[in-house]
Structure 1
C-alpha cells in the first residue's frame, strides 16, 4: 500500500493505493510529495458592499414594430434549420424551422396563413421556452 495526499477543489484527502501487477511494463512515476492539508478558513458573513455586482443580462428584445402572429419556442432547444425566409408566403401547417430538444428534432409549423414578416432567430441559436422565433402577418 502507498499513501498519498490528494487535493480536489481545495479539499485535501489522504488516500491509500494498492499496487497490483508489479512489473507490468517499463514505466516510471514520481510519488506525490505529502503537502500539509489546508485548514478551512472561518467564513465571514458577506455584506452587500463585499459582494461583487454583476450586471444583469440584457433582456431579449422583440422587434415590436413588426405586427402579426408571433411564433414562440414551445420548449428550450437549438435551432437546427430555418426553412423559410422573410417575405415568404406560408400556409397553416407549413414547416417554419426545426428545433432540436432532448436529441429530438421538432418541426415548428405555422399556425396561420400569411407572410413571414420577421425571423427573430438564426441557425444554431439556443432558445428558451417562449422566445420569439418568427412573426407571420
Structure 2
C-alpha cells in the first residue's frame, strides 16, 4: 500500500492506494480506501468522552444526511453520516461494530477532513 496526499480545489485528501501486480495479494474490495488526516488531539479529546471509537470524516464537505441515531447498534461498514463533497455523496461508515454514543454534527454542517462526526461505544 502507498499513501499519497492529494489537493483538489484547495481541499487536502490523504489517500491509501493498494498496488496490484506480481506478488501482490488480490484486493479484498473494489472500493477506494481514504484515510482521514488526524484531528488535533485537544479538539478531539472532549468528543472522545462520549464514546471510545471515533467516526471521522474522510474528506471535507457538507453533512448531507445522518443515517444512524444515538443508541443504535451498528456493524462495521454501516453508514453513520453521508457527506456531500464535489457533488458526490460519500458515506462515512462505522470502523467497527458498536453502539452510537454521539452524533457530533447536524445536516448542513461544513466539516473538514479528519473531523470527528460521531462516536461509538
Scaled by the length of structure 2, what TM-score is found? 0.60
* Structure index of larger Rg: 1
Q: In the alignment, which residue of structure 1 is the partner of 2:61?
A: 77
Which consecutive residues of structure 2, in runs of 5 or more, have no partner in the other structure? 1-41
Larger proportion of strand? 2
1:106 correspondence with 2:106: no
Scaled by the length of structure 1, what TM-score is found? 0.54
1:89 correspondence with 2:73: yes
Which consecutive residues of structure 1, in runs of 5 or more, have no partner in the other structure? 1-58
Cα RMSD after superposing both structures: 1.6
Q: 1:66 deviation in Å? A: 1.8
Equivalenced residues, count: 79
2:47–2:119 Cα contact (<8 Å) kept: no
Q: 1:123 deviation in Å? A: 0.6
CA distance in 2, matches of 1:123, 1:63: 18
Runs of 4+ that moved beyond 2 A: 59-65
What do the CA deviations read for 1:7-60 (whole angstroms, capped 9, x no partner)? xxxxxxxxxxxxxxxxxxxxxxxxxxxxxxxxxxxxxxxxxxxxxxxxxxxx85
Larger proportion of helix? 2
